[in-house]
Amino acid sequence: HTAFAKLTGCRVPIQLAAMPVVSLELATSVAGAGGLAMFSGLRASATYLADMLDHVADRTGARAGVNFIIRFLDRETLKTVAPRASVVEFFYSDPDPALVELAHAGGALACWHIGSREEAIAAERAGCDLVAAQGIEAGGHVRGTIGLFPLLAQVLEAVRIPVIASGGIGTARSMAAALAAGA
Protein backbone atom coordinates (compact mmCIF):
# COMPACT_ATOMS: atom_id res chain seq x y z
CA HIS A 1 0.00 0.00 0.00
CA THR A 2 1.81 3.08 -1.27
CA ALA A 3 0.73 6.57 -2.30
CA PHE A 4 1.59 5.63 -5.90
CA ALA A 5 -0.61 2.51 -5.82
CA LYS A 6 -3.48 4.39 -4.22
CA LEU A 7 -3.25 7.28 -6.70
CA THR A 8 -2.97 5.11 -9.82
CA GLY A 9 -5.29 2.31 -8.70
CA CYS A 10 -2.53 -0.29 -9.07
CA ARG A 11 -2.45 -3.33 -6.81
CA VAL A 12 1.37 -3.30 -6.69
CA PRO A 13 3.66 -0.24 -6.66
CA ILE A 14 5.49 -1.01 -9.90
CA GLN A 15 5.57 1.02 -13.09
CA LEU A 16 6.93 -0.41 -16.32
CA ALA A 17 9.63 1.75 -17.90
CA ALA A 18 8.23 3.38 -21.04
CA MET A 19 10.72 2.20 -23.64
CA PRO A 20 9.99 2.12 -27.38
CA VAL A 21 10.72 -1.63 -27.30
CA VAL A 22 7.93 -2.41 -24.81
CA SER A 23 5.77 -5.06 -26.42
CA LEU A 24 2.02 -5.27 -26.11
CA GLU A 25 2.49 -8.63 -24.42
CA LEU A 26 4.83 -7.18 -21.76
CA ALA A 27 2.58 -4.19 -21.08
CA THR A 28 -0.48 -6.43 -20.79
CA SER A 29 1.38 -8.75 -18.41
CA VAL A 30 2.46 -5.85 -16.16
CA ALA A 31 -1.08 -4.43 -16.04
CA GLY A 32 -2.55 -7.89 -15.45
CA ALA A 33 -0.16 -8.43 -12.54
CA GLY A 34 -1.35 -5.18 -10.92
CA GLY A 35 1.37 -2.75 -12.00
CA LEU A 36 1.20 0.31 -14.21
CA ALA A 37 1.97 -0.52 -17.84
CA MET A 38 3.55 2.31 -19.82
CA PHE A 39 4.06 2.90 -23.52
CA SER A 40 6.52 5.23 -25.17
CA GLY A 41 5.03 8.06 -27.18
CA LEU A 42 8.36 8.51 -28.96
CA ARG A 43 7.43 8.95 -32.61
CA ALA A 44 4.28 6.85 -32.09
CA SER A 45 1.05 7.87 -33.76
CA ALA A 46 -2.07 8.72 -31.81
CA THR A 47 -3.88 5.78 -33.42
CA TYR A 48 -1.14 3.32 -32.45
CA LEU A 49 -1.04 4.54 -28.84
CA ALA A 50 -4.84 4.56 -28.56
CA ASP A 51 -4.95 0.97 -29.84
CA MET A 52 -2.28 -0.13 -27.33
CA LEU A 53 -4.05 1.57 -24.42
CA ASP A 54 -7.41 0.10 -25.46
CA HIS A 55 -5.91 -3.38 -25.80
CA VAL A 56 -4.48 -3.32 -22.27
CA ALA A 57 -7.76 -2.02 -20.85
CA ASP A 58 -9.82 -4.62 -22.73
CA ARG A 59 -7.58 -7.52 -21.62
CA THR A 60 -6.92 -6.52 -18.01
CA GLY A 61 -9.52 -3.96 -16.93
CA ALA A 62 -6.62 -1.65 -16.06
CA ARG A 63 -5.60 1.57 -17.77
CA ALA A 64 -2.02 2.01 -18.94
CA GLY A 65 0.02 5.17 -19.40
CA VAL A 66 2.12 6.94 -22.01
CA ASN A 67 5.47 8.69 -21.70
CA PHE A 68 6.31 11.60 -23.99
CA ILE A 69 9.78 13.02 -24.57
CA ILE A 70 9.05 16.72 -24.89
CA ARG A 71 11.21 17.30 -27.96
CA PHE A 72 9.10 14.82 -29.92
CA LEU A 73 5.72 15.60 -28.33
CA ASP A 74 2.78 16.17 -30.63
CA ARG A 75 0.05 17.96 -28.67
CA GLU A 76 -2.71 16.45 -30.78
CA THR A 77 -1.44 12.97 -29.94
CA LEU A 78 -1.43 13.95 -26.27
CA LYS A 79 -5.04 15.16 -26.53
CA THR A 80 -6.04 11.87 -28.19
CA VAL A 81 -4.41 9.53 -25.70
CA ALA A 82 -4.99 11.39 -22.42
CA PRO A 83 -8.64 10.27 -22.14
CA ARG A 84 -7.53 6.64 -22.49
CA ALA A 85 -4.45 6.83 -20.26
CA SER A 86 -4.17 6.44 -16.52
CA VAL A 87 -0.95 8.47 -16.45
CA VAL A 88 0.65 10.80 -18.97
CA GLU A 89 4.33 11.16 -18.20
CA PHE A 90 6.56 13.89 -19.57
CA PHE A 91 10.31 13.73 -19.87
CA TYR A 92 13.44 15.60 -20.81
CA SER A 93 12.43 19.20 -20.34
CA ASP A 94 11.51 21.64 -17.62
CA PRO A 95 8.03 21.04 -16.15
CA ASP A 96 5.34 22.86 -18.13
CA PRO A 97 1.97 23.68 -16.50
CA ALA A 98 0.27 23.86 -19.92
CA LEU A 99 1.18 20.23 -20.69
CA VAL A 100 0.06 19.13 -17.23
CA GLU A 101 -3.25 20.88 -17.87
CA LEU A 102 -3.68 19.04 -21.19
CA ALA A 103 -3.15 15.69 -19.47
CA HIS A 104 -5.62 16.61 -16.73
CA ALA A 105 -8.15 17.88 -19.29
CA GLY A 106 -8.19 14.39 -20.77
CA GLY A 107 -8.68 12.80 -17.35
CA ALA A 108 -5.15 11.43 -16.96
CA LEU A 109 -2.80 11.88 -14.05
CA ALA A 110 0.28 13.94 -14.91
CA CYS A 111 3.78 12.77 -14.04
CA TRP A 112 7.09 14.46 -14.77
CA HIS A 113 10.26 12.38 -15.05
CA ILE A 114 12.84 14.41 -13.14
CA GLY A 115 16.55 14.25 -12.42
CA SER A 116 16.94 16.80 -9.62
CA ARG A 117 15.34 18.19 -6.50
CA GLU A 118 14.71 21.49 -8.30
CA GLU A 119 12.89 19.75 -11.17
CA ALA A 120 10.73 17.86 -8.67
CA ILE A 121 9.71 21.10 -6.98
CA ALA A 122 8.96 22.67 -10.38
CA ALA A 123 6.87 19.63 -11.37
CA GLU A 124 4.81 19.86 -8.20
CA ARG A 125 4.30 23.59 -8.78
CA ALA A 126 3.27 22.86 -12.38
CA GLY A 127 0.43 20.70 -11.03
CA CYS A 128 1.85 17.21 -11.49
CA ASP A 129 0.20 14.44 -9.51
CA LEU A 130 3.46 12.52 -9.11
CA VAL A 131 7.09 12.55 -10.21
CA ALA A 132 9.49 9.85 -11.34
CA ALA A 133 12.94 10.48 -9.90
CA GLN A 134 15.55 9.07 -12.26
CA GLY A 135 19.07 8.40 -11.09
CA ILE A 136 22.14 7.81 -13.24
CA GLU A 137 21.58 4.04 -13.08
CA ALA A 138 18.76 4.32 -15.62
CA GLY A 139 19.22 3.30 -19.22
CA GLY A 140 18.38 5.22 -22.37
CA HIS A 141 17.77 8.94 -21.98
CA VAL A 142 19.01 9.88 -18.51
CA ARG A 143 18.02 13.15 -16.84
CA GLY A 144 19.67 12.54 -13.47
CA THR A 145 23.21 13.49 -12.57
CA ILE A 146 23.46 11.59 -9.26
CA GLY A 147 22.59 8.11 -8.06
CA LEU A 148 18.98 7.14 -7.47
CA PHE A 149 19.09 6.85 -3.68
CA PRO A 150 20.80 10.21 -3.03
CA LEU A 151 18.29 11.74 -5.47
CA LEU A 152 15.37 10.10 -3.66
CA ALA A 153 16.59 11.50 -0.35
CA GLN A 154 16.57 15.02 -1.80
CA VAL A 155 13.26 14.72 -3.69
CA LEU A 156 11.24 12.98 -0.97
CA GLU A 157 12.04 15.83 1.44
CA ALA A 158 11.16 18.50 -1.12
CA VAL A 159 7.73 17.45 -2.46
CA ARG A 160 4.44 16.17 -1.07
CA ILE A 161 3.32 14.28 -4.17
CA PRO A 162 4.17 10.58 -4.68
CA VAL A 163 7.66 9.83 -5.98
CA ILE A 164 8.51 6.89 -8.23
CA ALA A 165 12.06 5.51 -8.01
CA SER A 166 13.40 5.18 -11.54
CA GLY A 167 16.62 3.57 -12.68
CA GLY A 168 18.48 0.53 -11.46
CA ILE A 169 15.53 -1.18 -9.77
CA GLY A 170 16.11 -4.74 -10.93
CA THR A 171 16.12 -6.90 -7.81
CA ALA A 172 13.87 -7.54 -4.84
CA ARG A 173 16.43 -5.83 -2.59
CA SER A 174 16.54 -2.67 -4.71
CA MET A 175 12.74 -2.61 -4.79
CA ALA A 176 12.62 -3.01 -1.00
CA ALA A 177 15.22 -0.25 -0.60
CA ALA A 178 13.18 2.14 -2.79
CA LEU A 179 10.03 1.41 -0.79
CA ALA A 180 11.91 1.78 2.50
CA ALA A 181 13.24 5.14 1.31
CA GLY A 182 9.65 6.31 0.80
CA ALA A 183 9.30 5.99 -2.97
pTM: 0.96
Burial of 21 per CB tally in 10 Å (0-12, 13-18, 19+)? exposed
For residue 175, give Cα distances in angstroms to 36, 119, 135, 170, 179: 15, 23, 14, 7, 6
Residue 134: partners with Cβ closer than 8 Å, 6 or more residues away: 113, 114, 115, 142, 143, 144, 148, 151, 166, 167
pLDDT digits (tens, 9 = 90+) for 94-134: 999 999 999 999 999 999 999 999 999 999 999 999 999 99
Query: CA–CA separation, 67 vs 109, rounded Å?
Result: 12
Average pLDDT, the chain: 96
| 59-87 pLDDT per residue, tens | 999 999 999 999 999 999 999 999 999 99
